[in-house]
Amino acid sequence: MIEHRPFNTLGGEDHGWLNAKHHFSFAGYYDPARMGWGALRVWNDDTIAPNTGFPPHSHADMEIVTYVREGAITHQDSMGNSGRTESGDVQVMSAGTGIRHSEYNREAKTTQIFQIWIMPGSQGQAPAWGAKPFPKGDRSGRFVALASGMAGDDDALPIRTDARVLGAALKRGDTAEYTFGDQRYGYLVSAKGKVRINDLELEARDGAAIRDVQSIRVTALEDAEVVLVDSAP
């Protein structure tokens, strides 16, 4: 099964400084049919105005992956970590027993990010943060693990859960394939460009919820950038 989640069906709210779209129930948006997908709990499509952002706030027991689509995001947290993550790159925060952090767009232009929250495999561990550049050339025409808690993904940022976040950069006409294990859940969003996933066409920022599918073929109908989460039930 591959269920199409068009961008114009997503929940969300425009706060002025933040225009947030939610693939799953979040904050003031509630849909009992969209409470998560496997271990994936949140996928927010956030557009953040220049020189604004999320002030310090707390999290616990969540793996939070930020994929920067445009611009850059600047992170600071209660552990003393700080860093600036640019377009195409990724940061990971394992909230663990508790962490307080801020995320600001310090740029002169709009920043666009995906916030992806995945339930951890266990609780009680110390919080952690990390960021890493992922050159788009390295994921040209193929899926590359960007954040992962699965064996063999040594080059990915670590997360504490049975899941991986992957990215692929596709030129028009290119195809990338991905094979799931048994009883896995997939969720794919085209960050840029129109794509076809098996027989389903997605516009940019549409979602596709995948279950009971052994493998997918993603073909770029335009130059495209796609993000995929593969998670346990």
CATH for 2-231, options being 2.60.120.10, 2.40.50.140, 3.40.50.300, 1.20.1260.10: 2.60.120.10
> What mean pLDDT do residues 138-156 have?
96
- Can you say whether the dihedral through the CA atoms of 196, 202, 206, 212 is positive or negative? negative
> Residue 35: its pLDDT value, please?
97
Other Cβ atoms closer than 10 A to 18: 17
> What mean pLDDT do residues 96-124 have?
98
Q: Is the pLDDT at 121 greater than 90, yes or no? A: yes
Residue ranges of domains in the chain: 2-231
Q: What is the pLDDT of residues 65-86, one digit of tens each?
A: 999 999 999 999 999 999 999 9
How confident is residue 10, by pLDDT bands cut at 50, 70 and 90? very high
User: Is the CB of residue 97 less than 8 Å from the CB of residue 122?
Assistant: no
Q: What is the pLDDT of residues 197-214, one digit of tens each?
A: 999 999 999 999 999 999
Q: Is the pLDDT at 60 greater than 90, yes or no? A: yes
How confident is residue 7, by pLDDT bands cut at 50, 70 and 90? very high
> Residue 135: its pLDDT value, please?
86
> Residue 136: its pLDDT value, please?
83
How confident is residue 26, by pLDDT bands cut at 50, 70 and 90? very high
Q: How many angstroms separate the Cα of 15 from the Cα of each of 26, 53, 114, 120? A: 14, 11, 17, 29
